[in-house]
A and B are shown apart, each in its own frame.
Chain A
Amino acid sequence: MVRSVAERAFPSIRHVLEEFGDMMILTGKTIWSALRPPYPYGGEFVSQFLFALRLVWFPLLVSTVAINYGAPGLQAGDFLTLFGALDRLGGFFVLAAIREIGPLITSIVVAGVAGTAITADLGARKVREELDALQVLGVDPVKNLVVPRFLALMVVTGLFDIYALLFGIFGGILAALSFGQPLGPFWGTLFANASVTDLWGSVLKTTIFGAIVAIVCCYKGMSASGGAEGVGRAVNEAVVISFLGIGAFNYVFTQTLLATHPNILVIK
């Protein structure tokens, strides 16, 4: 009786928990399949890596330069001008661009561009019963389809983070120049505040964002149903859940990194 009432009252909560559990199981299976021989996914890994590279580089370039120029660049620059501390803009870019904006923009662009393509591709294969046919033909779709996408998206997202940091700082340089500032103080405060922890923290966080995006997008594609409309719905849900996952993990990672490395809390 109680269970029946609970099922009626909270069907969506139950569904969300079931999906979360399924994604955790898929993550476990993917890591296990990736490590366990045989390793038939090399070709597909390279193909997915190049596919993501080709799709993502330009949107990421535009968005990182524009957002870093606009948000931490112009907005924070305007605020710092009040205190006559515009030379601190470079230091602020360590906090804003390297620790947060770079990883977030990278993973959001990867999810929006490459992740959706993965969901649409796997979803279309699912509704055409290609995935069922693969399984019946004795091919494990996790090992042959999910693992290469998971590894490719992790690696490409981690590498793209460095790319995003470089172009993000370029946005900061544009902002400093637009305030008529020399670049010496910008570089000075940037390097005074930047540490190796910031760099590996940023790359590690973004790599894990890539893993989250890959699992969510593969899961949503492989569980799509209901024809073309179902594939569209799966793509939409994949993006939303990826963003939620990225946001939630970002909170946990940032808190953990700050707690375990208190030296990066000190602003120089």
Chain B
Amino acid sequence: MAVHEPQRSSPGSEEQEFEFHTGEIRASGEPDAIEFVDVHKSFGRNHVLRGLNMSLPENKISMILGPSGTGKSVCIKHIVGLLYPDSGDVIVHGESIPSLRDAELFETRKKFGVLFQDGALFGSMNLWDNVAFPLRQHTEKGEDEIGEIVNRRMREVGLGGEGAKMPNELSGGMRKRAGFARSLVLDPEIVLFDEPDSGLDPVRTALLCELIKEIHAENGGCYVVITHDIMSARRVAEHISVLWKGKIVESGPAEELFASENPFVRQFLSGESAGPLGME
């Protein structure tokens, strides 16, 4: 991946606002699986993504880190085509997602596994049927083969034997793990995690992070984790993109970002109160 030039700021207040946004993208040594090219997105008067340029490499666990409300979840929705940019492009494996027709988009989505914040399990189905759903929907596999895959994935996430439970009988952590199992059953090339640590206690967060690492080591592919939890980032991140005010502050291999001299990146990755990021 090429090292990009830092973004240029326009003069005046915008220059001050993006004072720490060098936009530096450090080489990761892997080709890009996902690219955001000058993406702008607004919701009413709220300009969430403000010229986002970001690359997420193949075969790495990438983390998009940033304070709350900076557009991290909006990024995931752009990647899978649930939202479209007002301008700019989102490219996945060389395909422009906003340019795809509906039928092509539904086909492309088969390469994604997504773990939503609360698991997004279907309330009308038990856990087993939830995990089996993508296989029944997209493959010609028989019930025996589906059962084998579902049982294996459920065992991997520690939910073996819980298949008969309904989503409303599960704790938040169990719902997330079930969502994780469902996102993996089609062996996706890209797995997206929307705040996998939200609502979990520190031990379960650590266990989920370990699980993400283990499964990535086994399956490979591009894993993208969205979070604002630095502990999770230290545990699993191989590549980090720091997002603030709808733009990348800095991006690159995790060890280089943790050693960054950028005051915002340093403050955010160390979790200090003193620095450019305030309560505003």
Binding site for B on A (CB under 8 A): 124-125, 128-130, 132-140
Contact = CB atoms under 8 A, between A and B. Distances in A.
Given A138-B109, A140-B106, 18 more contacts: A125-B123, A129-B117, A129-B120, A130-B122, A132-B120, A133-B120, A133-B121, A134-B122, A135-B82, A136-B80, A136-B82, A137-B133, A137-B134, A138-B106, A138-B134, A138-B137, A138-B138, A140-B102
Interface residues of B, number: 21
Interface in B243-260: none
Contacts of A132: 77, 82, 114, 116, 120
Contact of A133 (B102, B107, B116): B116
B123 A129 contact: no
B123 A128 contact: yes
A128 B109 contact: no
Interface in B81-123: 82, 102, 106-107, 109-110, 112, 114, 116-118, 120-123
Contacts of B80: 135-136
A139 B117 CA distance: 20
Contacts of A140: 102, 106
A133 B114 contact: yes
B107 A138 contact: yes
Contacts of B121: 130, 133
B125 to A, nearest CB: 10
12 contacts: A129-B117, A129-B118, A130-B121, A130-B122, A130-B123, A135-B80, A136-B80, A137-B109, A138-B106, A138-B107, A139-B137, A140-B106
- Do most interface residues of chain A lie in helix, strand or loop, or is the interface mixed? helix
Nearest to B81: A135
B111 to A, nearest CB: 10
B109 A136 contact: yes
Contacts of A139: 137
Contacts of A133: 114, 116, 120-122
A129 B116 contact: yes
Contact of A128 (B77, B102, B120, B138): B120
Nearest to A124: B123
Nearest to A133: B120
B118 A137 contact: no
Nearest to B108: A138
Contacts of B82: 132, 135-136
A135 B117 CA distance: 16
A25 to B, nearest CB: 13
Nearest to B80: A136
A64 to B, nearest CB: 33
B109 A135 contact: yes
Contacts of B137: 137-139
Nearest to A29: B102
A136 B118 contact: no
A139 B247 CA distance: 32
B120 A138 contact: no
Interface in B223-244: none
B166 to A, nearest CB: 13
Contacts of B123: 124-125, 128, 130
A138 B103 CA distance: 9
Contacts of A137: 109, 133-134, 137-138
B114 A136 contact: yes
Contacts of B117: 129
A128 B117 CA distance: 9
A148 B121 CA distance: 21
B110 A138 contact: yes
Nearest to B77: A132
A102 to B, nearest CB: 34
A135 B122 CA distance: 12
B112 A136 contact: yes
Interface string B132-145: 01100110000000
Contacts of B138: 137-138
A139 B112 CA distance: 13
A128 B122 CA distance: 9
List 8 A-B pairs, minimum CB-CB distance, nearest first.
Answer: A133-B120, A129-B120, A129-B116, A138-B106, A136-B114, A137-B134, A138-B109, A136-B80
